[in-house]
Structure 1
Amino acid sequence: MKKILIIILLLGFTYNAFSQKSEDNIKVTKIAESTQSWNGDTLPAYPNGQPKITILKIVIPPHQKLDLHKHLVINAGVLITGVLTVIDDKNNVLELKAGDSIIELVNKYHYGENKGDIPAEIMVFYAGVVGTEITVKK
């Protein structure tokens, strides 16, 4: 019984030492945090209902423009590659480069345009509810 206890203690010590070393190498960087979208509008309250998270990777070819659209739910993204220009219905402009984040507009028409020479890849996270579209075109 004493041998088992010593082995358990040694295993516990080894695990704790490994965990401590692993944590020393972990780096957490806050990419974005806000109560407002990129143009300064206050984000709306989350709707009632069963939460539904959607994650999309959107690839916009060089020199292409998205259709005018709006999002019905709160969403945010990070541009992985390329450049992206976002323009809202009041001609506010946001220029993104790879690594930049965006807290998107909700219920406001806008579009994105890739003015660069390589595809613009953006990963977007939508926080909606079951039964609500995430994006609608005008």
Structure 2
Amino acid sequence: MPNELSIGEVAERTGLSVHALRFYERENLLLAPVRRTAGGRRAYTEQDVDWLAICTRLRDSGMPLADLRAFAALVREGPGNEEQRLALLRGHRNRVQAQLAELRSCLDLITWKVGVYEQRVAEGTATGVWDPTAGGDAAARG
């Protein structure tokens, strides 16, 4: 069949390992069962590659496997469940936005600490920064 891709080709194109591709298949995360060649080898399609790209981005962003499984099942069912799909995606978006807010807060602290250390190093006053034996106010020491 034209445009069939081997598991190795799909692994190379998606960045997933062969083991991960087999896991996605076992976990029923693909839109359709992977076709097998006469020799028993997996034969993927471009649609499989496109779907795997979506799945990996959702997983990379922290979507729980159960939610991804549910989303894939809804997509496989076809039209008529778009509201359910939307609810899953909105819930995930909300979690990602909360994670981003937490990371921004962490980045703000790190940026402040970098500024303190840069200033202390430039002034030559970095000795004793966060030295518990130096005494005094730890926050003032940097």
TM-score, normalization: structure 2? 0.23
Higher helix share: 2
Kindly indicate whether structure 1 or structure 2 has the higher relative contact order, using CA contacts under 8 Å at least 6 residues apart.
Answer: 1
TM-score of the superposition, structure 1-length normalised? 0.24
Q: Which has the larger radius of gyration?
A: 2
